[in-house]
Structure 1
Amino acid sequence: MKFQGVLFFPVTPFAADGSLDEERLAQHIDSGVAAGAGGVFVACGTGEFHALTSEEIERATRVAVGTTAGRVPVLAAAGGPTPVARDQAARVARAGADGILLLPPYLVTSPQRGLVRYVEEVTAASEVPVVFYQRGTARLTTETAAEIAALPKVAGLKDGLGDIERMHRIVRAVRAVPGGADFQFFNGLPTAEMTAPAYKGVGVELYSSAVFAFAPEIALAFHRALAEDDQARIDTLLDEFYGPLVRLRDQVPGYAVALVKAGVALRGLDVGGVRAPLLDPTPEHVARLAKLIDHGLEVAGA
């Protein structure tokens, strides 16, 4: 399970009655794959994993697997309490996912050995590979990261902390062990393009792009510029689109998801609103987002 290119984290559409809208999810995923996604991570952070039932995660995974039809890898999320995460892992494997994005344990702060135990117990629930998401309550030491990376079903580590120095040490430690050269690292910060150049500098070139969900033209333009070390184009996109987007995102907690859903709707696919405890963007903020998208598309040459 190897990734390249822009990684697509689709939103989870909801119908007017609040239920999972499988038809619109299929449309959303199909358009993303057609646009050039390098992988689909369904029912994950941007897909409101926190607000989905395990049954909905399984259904969303089936939709993603059926829609992609083997064109790109499909991963789905599991996480939270160990029994719940194990059940979710078994469900998404049964639904045909190529892998699992394993989110941290719920609420508690655990010792490092407890984090290893958590990964061991969840990975035992299925045979598919796992990418472990370091964020929130899961802050790995260099030694723990290397131990988790050495587990037979762990194929990658996604970072949501933003501690570049810690991540640099982790990358170097994992790369130094047998088989470490093939291990995959991901930048999982919100609006990851803002930090992608820094992560690339420490050997982490893969990143999740929320922008790809509503403006793949912009996300792909940035990805090409990064791959080609086109610093002028990188700076222009950061200054004129991504930076203003982050300033808007930071206006309200939860906008890292809610703005993405609004962006998808602005581009022509009604995916409904967000579930509690998040809130949909205000009309003023949606209008600002619309102008940002228009300008971003112009800057990207789309």
Structure 2
Amino acid sequence: MTDHGAPHDHGDHHDHERTIRRLRDGMARGVLSFPLTSFDADGALDLAGYRAYLERQLSSEPGAVFPACGTGEFHALDEDEYRAVVEATVEIAAGRLPVVAGVGYGWAQALRFARIAEEAGADALLVLPHYLVNAPEAGLVEQVRRIAAGTSLPLIAYQRGQVTFSADGVRALAEIPGVIGLKDGHSDLDRLQRLTLAAPDGFLFFNGAPTAEIQAAAYATVGVPAYSSAVHAFAPEIAGAFFTALHSGDTATTRTLLRDFYIPLVELRDTTPGYSVSLVKAAARLRGFPVGPVRAPLTDPSPEHLAVLQQLLDLGLKLAADR
């Protein structure tokens, strides 16, 4: 996370300032948790399973929790399911850490989710990349502007896929009342450095690359040390060991975890489209977490890939325990 000083004045300044401060403090303390959404064998929402799973996740004290985002299969949830997931997350978090709910699609539909999240008690929103179409940057900014205008919650924009902002685009985002930060999933460090330098004081940045630990050290060199962790969704022990080693300068441990666990995991993930979610969910099931299968169009891993995943998981847990 880049911290340029006092927060920018956005809308309800007091509430937004408090959310920014809590997010900044949480990002410095631990990884950002993006929990899976639990489904039963028939694909229905398993709210009891989600609650049990989330209790385990939050016991590891992440910096913030982001329900119903990419890892949580936002794309597969209807509005009633979304409400149930966000409400359960707010209840279980109980004010201990910020709750940032995902919203997406076009701005009109995103606002429907934003209002649900607001009613459910979320602290902020992550604006996921819009659906299907490519758009010029002026349209990307206007999309965020329209969402911000329809909610009292602060927003974090997410650049990934077809969404990319320039330095001018980030300046425009930061001028929108309610926009407090940017999650980056492109891993273009040259561009990202330009964005952090263009942003005003207090604008938040964090690393949202898939398997962000791979590039965490590189992101830190351009002033963005905070990151989300997909591994935390199934192995908080491994994610925590890496975070502690990275922030304490224990390069031997970070290199071992990267070489023996994270890089092989990424290589397995890259074999099949959608494995950035379904492989994570499969690993959680291997741990005995009640998360169930993925929903179509995602598919669960093959038996061969599950066997490799189990070996990687066993090794990663041993490395984390031995550090």
Q: TM-score, normalised by structure 1?
A: 0.96
Q: Which amino acid aligns with 1:24?
A: G
Q: Alpha-carbon deviations, 1:249-286, whole Å to 9, x = none?
A: 11111111001111111111231111111110011111
Residues 1:238 and 2:258 aligned together: yes
**CA shift at 1:203, angstroms?**
0.7
Query: Matched residues in 1 for 2:228 and 2:73: separation?
Result: 15
The answer for the alignment partner of 2:149 in structure 1 is 124
Query: Matched residues in 1 for 2:305 and 2:230: separation?
Result: 17
The answer for the alignment partner of 1:249 in structure 2 is 269
State the identity as a percent.
Answer: 48
The answer for the alignment partner of 1:115 in structure 2 is 140
Secondary structure of 1:35's counterpart equals coil
**CA shift at 1:112, angstroms?**
1.7
Query: Matched residues in 2 for 1:54 and 1:169: separation?
Result: 37
Q: Alpha-carbon deviations, 1:3-60, whole Å to 9, x = none?
A: 3211111101101231111111111111111112111100101011111112221211
Q: Which amino acid aligns with 1:235?
A: R
> 2:103, 2:113 within 8 Å by CA — same for their partners in 1?
yes
Q: Which amino acid aligns with 2:175?
A: A
Residues 1:30 and 2:52 aligned together: no
Residues 1:99 and 2:124 aligned together: yes
Q: Which amino acid aligns with 2:164?
A: R
Q: 1:149 aligns with which of 163, 174, 186?
A: 174
Q: TM-score, normalised by structure 2?
A: 0.89
Residues 1:285 and 2:305 aligned together: yes
Question: Which consecutive unaligned segments of at least 5 residues does structure 1 have?
Answer: none
Report which structure shows greater RCO (CA 8 Å, sep ≥6).
Answer: 2
The answer for the alignment partner of 2:81 in structure 1 is 56
Secondary structure of 1:42's counterpart equals coil
Structure 1: 4+ residue segments shifted above 6 A: none
**CA shift at 1:152, angstroms?**
2.0
Residues 1:71 and 2:91 aligned together: no
**CA shift at 1:74, angstroms?**
0.7
Secondary structure of 2:242's counterpart equals helix
Size of the aligned set, in residue pairs, is: 297
Query: Matched residues in 1 for 2:47 and 2:289: separation?
Result: 13
The answer for the alignment partner of 2:207 in structure 1 is 187
Query: Matched residues in 2 for 1:211 and 1:143: separation?
Result: 33
Tell me the C-alpha RMSD between the 2 structures: 1.1
Residues 1:168 and 2:188 aligned together: no
The answer for the alignment partner of 1:40 in structure 2 is 65
> 1:42, 1:77 within 8 Å by CA — same for their partners in 2?
yes
Alignment of 1:221-236 (within 5 A): 221-236=241-256
